Structure 1
Amino acid sequence: MPIWLTREDVQAVLNMPDAINAVAEAFRLLSLGQVELPLRTNMPVTPHQGSLLTMPAYVGGDVDGLGVKLITLYAENPQRHNLPAIQGSFALFDPRTGALEAVMEAGYMTAVRTGAAGGVAVRHLARPDVETLLLFGAGAQAPYQLEAVLCERPGIRQVWVVSRTRAHAEAFARAMQERFGVAATVPAIVEEAVRAADIIVTATSAHEPLFDGRWLQPGVHITGVGSHLPHAREVDSVTVQRAKVVADQTQACLAEAGDLVVPLAAGEIEQEHIYGELGEIVAGRKPGRVDPAEITFFKSVGLAVQDVAVARLIVDRARDAGVGQTLTI
């Protein structure tokens, strides 16, 4: 019988280290051609500044999962309605028969798997000796990006937080310092933090670049997860030009990632400037970081294979733990 899993149920069985490993396997299988992954649909709900996404996928290998996520993105929800910016549900099916296995709240799963993708990127692209992290964004996704970086690079000793309002950034920094035990502050001057950062993560709803790519120091790694529209970008063309660019999936990024679409359209880079996909690196088909001085940029628009791999993990653990409510359909 299928089961229903609430947000609390998912939280009870899912942790970031295991999510990182599940997402890494999903990327690896994607690189090996053992998935079915159509481009997601993104339907705008313009009057309410939101959108509805549908994201189906099949992941083969040992994962052997089939599912679809229905998710809404409303960036202003926390401020306007005291609701999460990301909400949704995920349905997992038995790939052998098509029978429904589970339905679960997908907001928490999405937040964790998005953070986990950043963790996989840090594992393969960031220098091992990093000590400083600059985080743009203090919204729903930011804690998970921070947690994933700390899972893969526990030597981080200083976190800087930049948000639209200083008060919000300061409150977030205090909460993260208490939660993770790492020094977290708001920089007095953003340029100085960019110049000093070993890792930069952008997790915002910005439509224009957040910093000047000329400020980046050699050896920095950047993860961009916030923008997912072809006209919106968090990093400028200089950043992209200076970096080894790695996509979660090239096809998806060329359709949705303004960070790459805009400089490509302007003739500032060629498509060949995209080094490859993260799954190719995980699978050992291409090397990740090869030089301590190179700048790396991982662009993620989010893939349904991540959802399926993490959902498969969640459902298996929930059944083992007796978590969830049986559905009668």
Structure 2
Amino acid sequence: MTQFYNAKDVAVALAWRPLIDAIDGLFRVGCTMPIRHHHGFHIPGEEDGTLLLMPAWSEGNYLGVKMVSVVPGNSGRGLPAISGTYILSSAKTGELLAILDGAELTARRTAAASALAGRYLARQNATHLLVVGTGTLSLNLIEAHSAVHDFGQISIWGRRFEQAEKIASEAQNRGFNAKAVSDLEATARNADIISCCTLSDKPLILGRWLKPGAHLDLVGAFKPTMRESDDAAVLVASVFADTREGVLSEGGDIVQPMNAGLIDFEHIRADLYDLSRGKHPGRMSEEETTLFKSVGAALEDLAAAIVVHETKGG
């Protein structure tokens, strides 16, 4: 019988450490992951939306596809920018097993992938997290990164300070030592991990701000026309990706400097496949500056959906 998992079901089932480990495990063994469909759709009077279709399957095990819409204009309506549905089936019989809330699944697996990268790439003694952005992902990133690192200080910056204060207050209610900040440069210069979750099309974090040993986590810019860091950040840091193929086709933080001839394919040291399989050791020294760019991978969705289905008794 087909199971239906709403946002609350998904959130409860996806505890951070088991989810991070599940994504790590599926990157290690791999699955079939066709290139995702990526379509823009016009919305009269506002910025275009994006429709994403993301399939993946593990042979003889599970098969899944996610349909997600991203509508930047929803911020003005007080609605989440991301919504969607995940459909999980048997890869042996084709039987429909479960339908899951895609927005919650996406938010949690995205944050978990960043935390997984942070496990490999950030300094183990990182104590100051800066989250840039105040959307749905901001609290998830705080929780996920905190499952890997013990932060004494968490800073939140947003274009609207009052929204950053709102996120900080909610983070405090969840037990985190968080505060809103208005000076992005000064805070970034002192942060050990900077996690960006915006829909920006212009750099927010500059390379000259990154202290030696800092880790920059770029989550939000998922189109070639979007970016959250400048060229200097990409040049000063050791660059890693969730998947090379995804980042090289859609990650503006990498695609733009590559198109400008500033970097080439080899500038990406490794992706989560390489890190999970031990093909790259990750951070090489305490002074190394690292950058992780993600655009999302259907493998991560599949890993999360399997956890939900099996945890909830599927």
The TM-score, its normalising length taken from structure 2, stands at: 0.95
Instruction: Say whether 1:143 aligns with 2:103.
Output: no
Q: Is the 8 A contact 2:161 2:182 kept in 1?
A: no
Where structure 2 has 5 or more consecutive residues not aligned to the other structure, the ranges are none
Helix, strand or coil at the partner of 2:309: helix
Q: Trace 1:285-296 onto structure 2 (pairs within 5 A).
A: 285-296=279-290
Aligned to 2:168: 173
1:64-143 superposed matches below 5 A: 64-80=61-77, 82-143=78-139
- Greater mean deviation of Cα atoms: 1-10 or 136-145: 1-10
Residue aligned with 1:71, SS: strand
Partner of residue 303 from structure 1, selected from 286, 289, 297: 297
Q: Does 1:271 align with 2:265?
A: yes
SS at match of 2:38: strand
In structure 2, relative to structure 1, the CA distance for the partners of 1:310 and 1:28 (3 Å cut) is: same
Gaps (5+ residues) in structure 1? 321-329
* Segment drifting more, 7-16 vs 100-109: 7-16
Query: Are residues 1:317 and 2:314 paired?
Result: no
- 1:1-329 equivalences under 5 Å are 1-30=1-30, 35-47=31-43, 49-60=48-59, 64-80=61-77, 82-154=78-150, 156-179=151-174, 181-319=175-313
Contact 1:91 1:100 in 2 (8 A): yes
Q: CA deviation at 1:60?
A: 5.0
**SS class of match (1:54):** strand
> Which deviates further from its counterpart, 197-206 or 47-56?
47-56
4+ runs deviating over 6 angstroms:
none
* Partner-residue secondary structure (3-state), 1:24: helix
What residue number does 1:323 align with?
none
Higher RCO (Cα < 8 Å, 6 or more apart): 1
> RMSD value over aligned CA atoms?
1.4
Q: Secondary structure at the match of 1:161?
A: strand
AA partner of residue 263 (structure 2): I
Partners of 1:184 and 1:76 in 2: how far apart?
28
- Give the alignment's TM-score, normalised by structure 1: 0.91
The residue type equivalent to 1:211 in the other structure is I
CA distance in structure 2 between the partners assigned to 1:60 and 1:240 by the alignment: 37
How many percent identity over aligned positions?
37
